[in-house]
Amino acid sequence: MNSIIFSLIFVPIVEIYLLIKIGSQIGAIFTIFLILTTAVVGIYYAKYEGLNTLRSGFLQLSKNQTPTFEVISGAAIAFGAILLIIPGFMTDFFGFLLIFPISRRIIFNKLLINFSKNKKKERNNFIDGEFEDIENDDDRKI
Tell me the pLDDT tens digit for each residue of 2-51: 888 888 889 999 999 999 999 999 998 999 999 999 999 988 999 999 99
SS3 at position 122: helix
Q: Is residue 2 part of a domain?
A: no
Total tally of structural domains belonging to the chain: 1
Q: Is residue 51 part of a domain?
A: yes
Mean pLDDT to the nearest integer, 116-127: 65
Q: Is residue 29 part of a domain?
A: yes
What's the domain range around 26?
Answer: 8-122
pLDDT at position 97, please? 92
Split at pLDDT 50, 70, 90, the class of 96 is very high
Would you say 89 and 15 are in contact if contact means Cβ atoms under 8 Å apart?
Answer: yes
pLDDT at position 113, please? 87
Would you say 125 and 113 are in contact if contact means Cβ atoms under 8 Å apart?
Answer: no
pLDDT at position 122, please? 57
Q: Is residue 3 part of a domain?
A: no
Q: Which amino acid is at 137?
A: D
Rounded Cα–Cα distance for residues 140 and 142 (Å)? 7
Of the two residues 115 and 50, the one the predictor is more confident about is: 50
Q: Is residue 131 part of a domain?
A: no
Residue 120: pLDDT over 80: no
Q: Is residue 76 part of a domain?
A: yes
Rounded Cα–Cα distance for residues 61 and 8 (Å)? 38
Rounded Cα–Cα distance for residues 35 and 42 (Å)? 10
Mean pLDDT to the nearest integer, 94-102: 92
Q: Is residue 137 part of a domain?
A: no
pLDDT at position 124, please? 57
Would you say 69 and 108 are in contact if contact means Cβ atoms under 8 Å apart?
Answer: yes
Q: Is residue 69 part of a domain?
A: yes
pLDDT at position 48, please? 93
Residue 130, sorted as left (phi over 0), alpha (psi -120 to 50) or beta, turns out to be: beta
